[in-house]
A and B are shown apart, each in its own frame.
Chain A
Amino acid sequence: GAVVSQHPSWVICKSGTSVKIECRSLDFQATTMFWYRQFPKQSLMLMATSNEGSKATYEQGVEKDKFLINHASLTLSTLTVTSAHPEDSSFYICSAPTAGVSRVGANVLTFGAGSRLTVL
């Protein structure tokens, strides 16, 4: 089945540094990928939609200059947290749509394993 690989699985960095998280679709192409953020014991909050060949679409309240998204190819999207601060510490998860089984256009999302970011 479809696999989404996310790297790194965890990262610790100093405040003020930038961190890059990669999301790859391993056996399928994804023109769109979604980036989520999850705080402990909370649901997934969509941050942005990554579009291959064009700019990412950010959700309301998400700073596009802080969370840089680049969809470099049909199998790779990256999220860069710039000038990270402790409040950026969170679990970041990417996902990509894979074809639904019985209905054209009904895509389900396959998720990566997530990246735990801790900013000291």
Chain B
Amino acid sequence: GQQLNQSPQSMFIQEGEDVSMNCTSSSIFNTWLWYKQDPGEGPVLLIALYKAGELTSNGRLTAQFGITRKDSFLNISASIPSDVGIYFCAGQSYSGSARQLTFGSGTQLTVLP
């Protein structure tokens, strides 16, 4: 089956620093999604990427869909305490009607004041 490698597994950064995390896949995806999950909550969509090479921003967040369609990265600029949480990448392929997501293992972000 499809596998996603997400790194780093965890990050400890100072408030104000920039953050970068990425995901690589063993197979091609048609869509890349980035979610954030706060403790005890469901994931919330941050950015959706639909085309290879696409670079999309959402406030301080920027994500790119790799040209090979096998990777994606997420950058967070000028981190703040509320950025704390787990960030998941997710790849989606169109296999018939089962449009399921494959999730990365997550990046636990801690922002130190």
Contact = CB atoms under 8 A, between A and B. Distances in A.
Contact of A43 (B33, B98, B106): B106
B112 interface: no
A56 interface: no
B108 A103 contact: no
Interface stretch (A73-81, A82-90, A94-102): A94-102
B67 interface: no
A114 B50 contact: no
Contacts of B97: 32
Interface stretch (A13-21, A64-72, A104-112): A104-112
Determine chain A's interface SS by DSSP, over half rule.
strand
Contacts of A108: 31, 33, 45, 48, 92
Interface of A: 4, 6, 32, 34, 41-44, 46, 49, 57, 91, 93, 95, 97, 100-103, 105-114, 116
24 contacts: A4-B42, A41-B108, A42-B105, A42-B106, A43-B104, A49-B98, A57-B98, A91-B40, A95-B42, A100-B31, A101-B48, A101-B50, A103-B31, A103-B50, A105-B99, A106-B48, A107-B99, A108-B33, A108-B45, A108-B48, A111-B44, A113-B42, A114-B42, A116-B40
